[in-house]
Chains A and B, each alone.
Chain A
Amino acid sequence: MSSRERILGRVRRALADVPQDDPSYGEAVARDYLREHGARSPEETVELLAENLADYRAVVHRCGADELPSVLARLLAERKAATVLVPPGLDEAWLAETDTARVADRVESGAHELDRVDSVVTACAVAVAETGTIVLDGGPDQGRRRITLVPDHHICVVRVPGQVVSSVPQALERLDPARPLTWISGPSATSDIELDRVEGVHGPRTLEVILVG
């Protein structure tokens, strides 16, 4: 007997007490919880996102669409970034004003190459106001998961209010589970020393979020 059959057999014997007419998934799972916490206007939702991102030590900037290229140029200059990694589908116009050398992400570029890049600029798939979270889904303007992980400085552009939802349930509705997702809430952190939060471990130690719109 294979282990598969053995385990499934054990499960079935263990559940001998469960009746044939046990409630179905829909009947058994009550969803009395809220779809979102509190009622807010779209602008208030964006405010809350900014507040919660900052609370977990992300650096938040706000600007209009026409100002984005100059804001990006300024942030890269302030960081003294010599190179910036760019996902293949990022809007060309966003980086029109920066002198920082662009590095394209190629499938064959190894982790060591990524480690030598100073910054990375991406868009996002959705942002969650209540938790201060941005979600990347590997779309063309976000690139592979590794490019937002290995460099030490990540700038993420969120189009507001269109890409912002209030809550986790609303975010999941918008996302495609077939895509590899990365949910990011502030720069990497740890609570492993005396259960006290410290920012900056393996992921980018600086996360800047630009809310555009």
Chain B
Amino acid sequence: MASQVTGQGIGASLIRKEDDRFMRGRGGFVGDIRPAGTLDVAFLRSSFAHAKLRGIHIPSSIRSRVFIAEDLGGVMPIRADTALPGFKSSVQPILATGKVRHVGELVAMCVAPTRAEAEDIAAQIEVDYEELPAVHDMLAARDPGAALVHEHWSDNLYLTTEIDVNFEAAKAKAKASVRRELRTARQVMSPIEGRGLIAEWNNRLGQLIVTSSTQQSHIVRTGIAECLGLDEGKVRVIAPDVGGGFGYKGILLPEEVALSWGTRKLNRPLRWLEDRRENLTAGADCREHHYVLTAYADDEGRLLALDCVATVDAGAYSAYPFSACLEAGQIGSILPGLYDFGHYRCRTYSVATNKPPILPYRGVARTGVCFALEVTLDALARELKQEPSQLRFKSMVRPEQMPFDNIAKRHFDSGDYPEALRRCLAAVDLDAVRERQRRGERDGRLVGLGIAMYSEQAGHGTSVYASWGIPFVPGFEQCHARFTPDGGLELRVGSHSHGQGHETTLSQVAHELLGVPHEQIKLVHGDTAETPYSTGTWGSRCMIVAGGAVAEACDQLAIRVKRIGASLLQAKPEDVRLEAGEVVANSGRISVAEIARTWYRRPQELPVHVDPSGLEVTAGYKAKRDTGTFSYAAHAAVVAVDPATGEVEILDYVVVEDGGVLVNPMIVDGQIYGGAAQGIGTALYEEMAFDGRGQPLGSTLADYLLPGPTEVPDIRVFHMETPSPYTRFGQKGIGEGGAIAPPAAITNAVNDALKGLGCELLDLPVTPRRIVETVAKACREKSAR
């Protein structure tokens, strides 16, 4: 293969092409762009979580610069329905209509030459609200008689699902069980760059051009066209450099529709750049789950059954395109984890509340599910007085069972789960930690070790999503590839990079197959006018599907290049091979660059019967099986807990990850580090609390704590490489995994540290206050006995 010769193909830890501009502050983000004549937009947002809109009073002096719902004639609201039986549809207005359903909902769009002046205008608008009881707690929202978020619904449930695989039969067999109630906090996705967009109508092209910080320009284009009733051909969406997304930028925003409408109305470019306050209070909510989970085991600790009732606080609207039910739906299918057992029941509720819509964040439901399951398994191990890892080994899917269809009908493609855990325990040195715990700490702190495992389905396609019936179903990803006259290669894909390094990794795939020097391969992405349709970048799919499409296109280019090369070498096409960027025959060799030059600039030298379709192709990727790849990992955390102050120090953190064949191991490590930092945020810091009136209690990063460099330890990453049988190179998706296990591993470590005090932490994040109060409660109960 080319890579072994050049060190630029699959498996090479190349420095990212993107980093030169990013590291020098020379990236081009939405905020760096300002077309001549642009007006800035500030939105007046609802200050109430739930209220009727009795009136909006706009002084006449500013009326022409303010737009409210009644001005937006003919604009359709955003609907993200699913085809799942019993799903209740929500209608998300572009600007509030009749009532507001969460703090931060858009009420009015204000335009001015600068953002500050637009805010001045917003401050002059008076809104007459009639406050309604806020539905702020997802459990209370399920009660009969609760106030209704959507007044025409019969209750506050978007959807209820139920899986039952012979559950009742398990109870008779079970010798042990533990039941735990667990909760994950509502979080806010915090990319360094917030959302933002510029909308402008181009009269020459007859086209609306929306430059947006998005992960999926094609989906946004479809959504905007639908809401505005425009032909899709009249909408072009461009995603420039995108500074982190994590799922937040995979959503069609009402802001995108509002500015797209407004630019036609005003015949001026309009720009809106989200600020951190909007991001925290109105935009990027995620993660809020509640579980009541019971694990049943036999007398040796083998897992027999899981029984779960899970509730997801899905917020006020079903967000486009993933809907309000993605998280709860995933819970039912992911909860069994890496384990093989025979009985299962899981009911899920997707609950509407007066909070911003819940959006899929890196790992989506897996972070909450891994937390619920792995923390409960540790509780079971304590109940049975077993080493938590030993308990897991007894029930884990074994490598000889692969590929394995689990109890929730997930098809695990490949891997050796017990080996990952064995390597993880060896790396963290379980015996040494247990010995240290026996010795105790001089400073009075308590040391604990926690492990957690998960698998991460990625690149799953049509068969998985079709039954959901959400606004899009991923089909076949495509790549347009062409040689340039100087022998360089252009790749065009419809997915986009928001930090993943696609310009580097997709280039490595192409280099592997065509041998074109890495420096001469250019990725074009993000612009709907220049790239094939794609459902975009989400679900850790791009290395599989975009990588697969690049490979298909390069294969076809290789055939064409060989055919022309053979004729120039006066050999038969079947007698030549492509080798390190050259077509080689017995009679000689010719470089791909020379062939490209001949094709474009000296066609008179081409054979008479040359195939005129040339050196550009569009090819698509079809997985051998579209149920996805399952990368997996074992995480171990060692912590020291001060039971008096609740401070937690992470002493060691180990990840043993199997992402199949790694295209660029350095980028994979980066994905794991970044994900784990976010997982540490989920575990210890991040929490957007709401009061009883549905008001978010944080509006700056002083209130909403993110881990910083000093809170993230040196994470020790080890790789296994079990190829996926279903992908082109055996690669698997790994983009989210780092963020999945840390809350479970760290909570298990804290609970291991505190086990002598007889208490457990079951709510995220595990804050110092929660630890101190839990310890104090355990002490009170102990002394009362």
Instruction: Tell whether A and B belong to one assembly.
Output: no
Name B residues whose Cβ lies closer than 8 Å to a Cβ of A. none
Name A residues whose Cβ lies closer than 8 Å to a Cβ of B. none
